[in-house]
Chain A
Amino acid sequence: MPLLDVKALSAGYGDLVAISEISFSVEKGELLALIGANGAGKSTLLKTIVGSMSSTSGSIIFKGKEITSEPDYKRVKDGISLVPEGRRLFPSLTVEENLLVGAATDRRGPWNLQAIFKLLPIVEKLKDRNAARLSGGEQQAVAIARSLMSNPDLILLDEISLGLAPVVVEQIYAALPDIRKEGLSIILVEQDLKRTLKVADKISCLLEGHLVLQGKPSEFSHKQITDAYFGHSLPSFSDSVMGVK
């Protein structure tokens, strides 16, 4: 049984369909990378999985339980946590307070303040600092730490390297193996294709709200992936749009 099973999921804003009939699954401990150009529907898909957006059809099954209509704050208790795009720390709280709010669900697991400080020493150094007074990279480290505090089974990382210096991105990715050590599953959304393909167990490529490519990164040539990314000469895409199997 997969940890997360998404079946024919659709969602949109008003009349606009942002994602259409998306199906995929994530196994325990697996890292799935969602790739696709801007506006392909990656963030919408993440928001629908955590419940900040409601789906129009399809279903989401997590640990064997249907959670499609469960409110967002309950899904965190089930073990799904999102690191939102743009970090979105609580600016008037200190770093430590941000982490404590992250632990609101009281879920048991490997992560607590000590474990976080050991994984990311920079966070410990900043713990009494106001979250509004952090650099972008520091904010990102704290945002990931805050999500880990809920001891999730599945963590969704939305554009974690956006607007960060390459050296900082390097540091954050260096912490990834340690984060995954405990069998945590990850869905990663990232613009940097090269980096993504290096860490992903599985990739799913979205194009204008449709899933156009899915599988192990090694199964595809670089050209196949970039074609799917930009929508060049892709018979499977027009098939799925036309509804032809």
Chain B
Amino acid sequence: MILLNSISQGILLGGLFALSAVGLSLAFGVLRIVNLAHGDLMTLGGYLAFITIQHTGMSTWYTFLIVVPAMGIIGYFIQRILLQRALRMGELAPLMVTFGISIIIPNSLVQLFTNNTQQLPVGALATSSIQVNNQISIGTFPLITLGISIVLIVALQQYLSRTKMGRYMRAAADDSEVLRLMGVDHRKVYGIAMGIAFATLAMAGILFGMRQGGVTPYDGSLTVLFAFETVIIGGLGSLWGTLLGGIVLGIAQTVAGQFSPELPLLAGHLVFLGVLAFRPSGLLGKPVLR
């Protein structure tokens, strides 16, 4: 029963991992950009929420309405102004740009806010939970996180498969040069894809901060690792795979946590290595053709 409890906690945690990995998966899938700054941008999202709370006194939940669109717009312009130029210089250049961003963000945050944890209060939801029986209880906040994550993945999947822009994104991932020959400026498509990636990672960043009770400047170095592991475990190019990857990673961490408090991270990495060794295309990913 204890095992069942930790598995259900793992599933809930997996929702958060999946949410934080969606943007990484999208950026790689459509733009072929490996965003090393993914975790630090999540942290930035958390800090933007904190700043918004400080200035307006609003509840953390409402900051989503401001921070998520703002990060979306930032993502669009970072793509158009920085990464698009770098893409012309080969595959390594965008990687270096995101690496640079991943150094600038935490160091600036330390300068501006010190190393202390900045609170992102969850409110009454922090302690409320649903008691299933006397051994299993499900926290309301993690349940909401999982719900948001599933809704977002379904919405994004629909967007990619049903809308015009979604079609252009998939076409751009296949062959951006030919997409231009169809009359579509692929740079704009890339910008919008990166904007969506930034919006989702901002959501994940705030929720991650809320779960931890707050944000600190160097959170990103760990969250980027979870996001990468989630994408690889689930399989590149499959959003459902990303959800599954998050859940597998979440379960691995919480179950290992039952045995020793030092084990969760190690267990997560071992599952990740196991997938890389025995199923490199990921659980739901298609085997690489090209």
Q: Give Cα distance in the complex from A175 to B180, angstroms.
A: 26
A24 at the interface (CB under 8 A from B): no
Report yes or no: B181 in contact with A104, Cβ–Cβ below 8 A.
no
Give the interface size bracket for B toward A. Answer: 10 to 19
Encode B168-211 as 1/0 by CB contact (under 8 A) with A. 10110111011111111110000000000000000000000000
Report yes or no: A104 in contact with B182, Cβ–Cβ below 8 A.
yes
A5 at the interface (CB under 8 A from B): no
A52 at the interface (CB under 8 A from B): yes
Report yes or no: B167 in contact with A100, Cβ–Cβ below 8 A.
yes
* Given A90-B171, A90-B175, A93-B167; A101-B184 close (CB under 8 Å): yes
* Given A90-B174, A101-B171; A84-B181 close (CB under 8 Å): yes
Chain A residue numbers with a CB within 8 Å of B164 are 100, 104
A72 at the interface (CB under 8 A from B): yes
Nearest Cβ on chain A to B168's Cβ, whole angstroms: 7
Report yes or no: A97 in contact with B167, Cβ–Cβ below 8 A.
yes
A92 at the interface (CB under 8 A from B): yes
A residues 58-98 in Cβ contact with B at 8 Å? 71-74, 76-77, 81-82, 84, 88, 90-93, 97
Nearest Cβ on chain A to B2's Cβ, whole angstroms: 44
A102 at the interface (CB under 8 A from B): yes
Which one of B167, B178, B185 lies within 8 Å of A88 (CB-CB)? B178
Which one of B174, B175, B183 lies within 8 Å of A76 (CB-CB)? B183
A202 at the interface (CB under 8 A from B): no
Q: Give Cα distance in the complex from A93 to B177, angstroms.
A: 16
Nearest Cβ on chain B to A81's Cβ, whole angstroms: 7
Encode A180-199 as 1/0 by CB contact (under 8 A) with B. 00000000000000000000
Report yes or no: B167 in contact with A81, Cβ–Cβ below 8 A.
no
Report yes or no: A52 in contact with B174, Cβ–Cβ below 8 A.
no
Encode B155-171 as 1/0 by CB contact (under 8 A) with A. 00000000010011011
A150 at the interface (CB under 8 A from B): yes
Chain B residue numbers with a CB within 8 Å of A97 are 167, 170-171
Nearest Cβ on chain B to A155's Cβ, whole angstroms: 12
A residues 95-121 in Cβ contact with B at 8 Å? 97, 100-102, 104-105
Chain B residue numbers with a CB within 8 Å of A52 are 177, 180-181
Interface of chain B, main secondary structure: helix
Q: Which of B164, B171, B180, B182 has the most CB of A within 10 A?
A: B182
A residues 28-63 in Cβ contact with B at 8 Å? 50, 52
A210 at the interface (CB under 8 A from B): no
A residues 105-162 in Cβ contact with B at 8 Å? 105, 146, 150
Q: Give Cα distance in the complex from A52 to B182, angstroms.
A: 12
Report yes or no: A91 in contact with B180, Cβ–Cβ below 8 A.
no
Q: Give Cα distance in the complex from A77 to B184, angstroms.
A: 9
Nearest Cβ on chain A to B274's Cβ, whole angstroms: 28
Chain A residue numbers with a CB within 8 Å of B173 are 92
Chain B residue numbers with a CB within 8 Å of A71 are 180, 185
Which one of A73, A92, A102, A150 lies within 8 Å of B180 (CB-CB)? A73
Encode B36-53 as 1/0 by CB contact (under 8 A) with A. 000000000000000000
Q: Which residue of chain B has the shortest Cβ distance to A74 in the bound complex?
A: B183
Report yes or no: B178 in contact with A105, Cβ–Cβ below 8 A.
no
* Given A92-B173, A93-B167, A93-B170; A101-B179 close (CB under 8 Å): yes
Q: Give Cα distance in the complex from A92 to B174, angstroms.
A: 7
Nearest Cβ on chain A to B178's Cβ, whole angstroms: 5
Report yes or no: A76 in contact with B167, Cβ–Cβ below 8 A.
no
Nearest Cβ on chain A to B120's Cβ, whole angstroms: 39
Which one of A50, A84, A91, A101 lies within 8 Å of B167 (CB-CB)? A101
Nearest Cβ on chain A to B251's Cβ, whole angstroms: 31
Q: Give Cα distance in the complex from A150 to B178, angstroms.
A: 13
Q: Which of A50, A102, A104, A150 has the most CB of B within 10 A?
A: A104
Report yes or no: B174 in contact with A72, Cβ–Cβ below 8 A.
no
Chain B residue numbers with a CB within 8 Å of A92 are 170, 173-174
Q: Which of B167, B171, B180, B181 has the most CB of A within 10 A?
A: B181
Report yes or no: A105 in contact with B175, Cβ–Cβ below 8 A.
no
Q: Give Cα distance in the complex from A100 to B143, angstroms.
A: 39
Nearest Cβ on chain A to B165's Cβ, whole angstroms: 10
Report yes or no: A73 in contact with B167, Cβ–Cβ below 8 A.
no
Where the two chains meet, the residues of A that have a C-beta atom closer than 8 Å to any C-beta of B are 50, 52, 71-74, 76-77, 81-82, 84, 88, 90-93, 97, 100-102, 104-105, 146, 150
6 nearest A-B residue pairs (beta carbon) = A76-B183, A105-B183, A90-B174, A90-B171, A73-B180, A104-B183
